[in-house]
Amino acid sequence: MEVAPALRFHLPPPRRRPALTVPADPAVTVGHVVQALGVPLTEVGQLVLDDDPVDPAARAVGARLLVPAVPAPQPAPTSPPRFVLDVHLGSLARRLRLLGLDVAYARDAADDDLAATALAEDRVLLTRDRELLRRRALSVPPRHAAFVRATAVEPQTAEVLRRFAPPLAPWTRCLVCGGPLEATTKAELGELLPAGTRRTYDEFARCARCGRPFWRGAHSRGLEEAVRRAQEVLEEMPRVIGETAHDVQGDAAQQVPGEAAPGVP
């Protein structure tokens, strides 16, 4: 059995070798063999058993099983992709919303809720929980889940962008609930704004879903940097993908409403 180098970190350390030997067992499927070693099927591309492409449900009888990584960018259940994030990925949820991605996130969601939301709303569940990824319904194409390897928000964001190459629309979503932002005026927001903010800023937006006001606040500089780095990640992807990402970003850039920026009161 040969597991692609990009997937070997899922294996127990002693088994992180180019070739592994596992017993052929007609009672189990190749998918089971792969997952029993620790590699979630959501992360695996087309399995090849003795030179023939096989389904994970095929019986594990053969001489040589190749386990490639899922190709990137991978097709998602919807285009553009939508996501639902595990409870432990709150920072990533805010960052992806900043970039304009459709992200569902609730800090108290149970595993069953996460899996159900992914399937019912055709979202990709992002998680670091391999047990959750073992649910069969999530790994059947089109895959409704993906493992996030990094633990810090910056590399996590880059991982998601490289894997799904989603079109970006920075500054178009509420960081708190993910709803769309609409340009609005100081007068319309009225009492929702602290007096100091009313005096200092001129361009405002409001979340169409939760009603929170947003403006270009003191911490938007760091957020602008984060947006720039995300755009760079997509631009650095291979040319064929880079062109797609560039076109989509060009379109999205025109939808950005003014200077609307999150500055949570």
Binding site for Zn ion (CB under 5 A): 174, 176-177, 179, 207, 209-210
Task: State the minimum distance, in angstroms, from the CB of residue 82 to Zn ion.
Answer: 16
Distance of closest approach, residue 262 Cβ to Zn ion, in angstroms? 10
Two tokens, residue 218: 């003191």
Kindly state the smallest distance separating residue 245's Cβ from Zn ion, in Å: 27
Q: What's the one-letter identity of residue 97?
A: R
| Alpha helices (H) in the chain, listed in sequence order | 30-36, 90-98, 111-120, 130-133, 136-139, 153-164, 186-189, 195-200, 220-235, 239-253
Enclosing H/E stretch for 85: strand 82-85
Distance between CA atoms of 199 and 64, rounded to whole angstroms? 70
Beta carbon nearer to Zn ion, 41 or 223: 223
Nearest CB to Zn ion, comparing residues 90 and 242: 90
Distance CA 3, CA 20 (A): 8
Three-class DSSP category at 244: helix
Closest approach of Zn ion to the CB of residue 257, in Å: 15
Of the two residues 62 and 257, which places its CB atom closer to Zn ion in the complex? 257
From the CB of 227, what's the least distance to Zn ion, in Å?
19
Angle at 45 between CA 43 and CA 50, to 5 degrees: 130
**Residue 58 or 193 with smaller CB distance to Zn ion:** 193
**What's the min distance (Å) between Cβ of 211 and Zn ion?**
7
Token pair 């149970």 is at which residue? Answer: 110
* Closest distance to Zn ion from the beta carbon of 265 (Å): 13
Q: How far is CA 91 from CA 78, 98, 155, 219, in A?
A: 23, 11, 12, 15
Q: Which is nearer to Zn ion, 94 or 144 (CB)?
A: 94
Q: Scan for tokens 């990009």, then name that residue.
A: 6
For Zn ion, which is the closer residue by CB, 132 or 174?
A: 174
The tokens 């919807």 sit on which residue?
A: 78
Residue 182 vs 259, nearer CB to Zn ion:
182
